[in-house]
């Protein structure tokens, strides 16, 4: 198979998931693929989904999933000065729904160009609004249940929460000033 026909994703697993194996849902072009990650994978391992592009893109090619391992300390890491907290299905409720301050969640994926454009905007605003608004990001490929629950059909998607309730949404990359307007409306 020609490498040009392959697509590569990165998948971050917890240490426990890597040790015991896990099944994850991959969404590409609104098509769902169940991915079984075998027990004992290590950082840098690649799981090959042979001819999976036939299912998702209607063309020949493989999907290659490069494994990253998130250490236990990184899973609970928070920046005291603000910063953007990486969240997942395990801590979504405690970080977002039970937060005592407003939260903006960036639904993103590493293969999404506009999502990468939003990262520095989110970082700058997290510094500016430290202590007043919590900034989180969640990878839609690694957390399909939460992505489906909040209808993250197009990314980047920013979902704004206050007291555990969705109060606003924004699809697509936006500027600092556009995000500031939305953040100021949370108070």
82 falls in which pLDDT band (50, 70, 90)?
A: low
Q: How is residue 54 annotated by DSSP?
A: H
Nearest to 8 by CA among 94, 93, 67: 67
Residues annotated as catalytic are 112, 115
As a whole number of Å, the CA-based R_g of the chain is 17
Of 129, 121, 128, give the one whose Cα is nearest residue 137. 121
Supply the pLDDT for residue 75.
43
Judge whether 3-70 and 78-184 match in fold: no
Q: Are 9 and 65 in contact (CB under 8 A)?
A: yes
Domain boundaries 78-184, corresponding CATH code: 3.40.30.10
Stretch 30-45: mean pLDDT, rounded? 84
**Residue 47 forms beta bridges with which residues?**
65
Mean pLDDT, residues 20-43 taken together:
82
Q: Please write the tens of the pLDDT for every residue from 113-162.
A: 999 999 999 999 998 998 899 999 999 999 999 999 999 999 999 999 99
Q: Where are the domains of the chain?
A: 3-70, 78-184
Which architecture, in CATH terms, is 3-70?
A: Sandwich (2.60)
Question: Where does residue 113 rank: exposed (0-12), middle (13-18), buried (19+ CB within 10 A)?
Answer: exposed
């Amino acid at each position: 198979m020609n490498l040009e026909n392959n697509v590569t994703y990165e998948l971050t697993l917890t240490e426990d998931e890597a040790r015991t194996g896990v099944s994850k849902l991959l969404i590409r072009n609104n098509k769902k693929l169940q991915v079984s990650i075998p027990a004992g994978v290590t950082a840098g391992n690649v799981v090959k989904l042979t001819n999976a592009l036939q299912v998702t893109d209607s063309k020949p090619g493989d999907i290659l999933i490069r494994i990253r391992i998130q250490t236990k300390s990184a899973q609970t890491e928070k920046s005291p000065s603000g910063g953007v907290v990486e969240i997942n299905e395990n801590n979504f409720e405690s970080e977002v729904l039970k937060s005592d301050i407003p939260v903006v969640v960036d639904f993103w994926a590493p293969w999404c160009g506009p999502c990468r454009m939003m990262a520095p905007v989110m970082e700058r605003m997290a510094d500016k609004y430290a202590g007043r608004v919590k900034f989180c990001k969640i990878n839609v490929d690694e957390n399909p249940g939460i992505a489906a629950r909040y209808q993250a059909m197009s990314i980047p998607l920013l979902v704004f929460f206050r007291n555990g309730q969705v109060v606003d949404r924004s699809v697509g990359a936006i500027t600092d000033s556009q995000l500031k307007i939305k953040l100021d409306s949370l108070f």
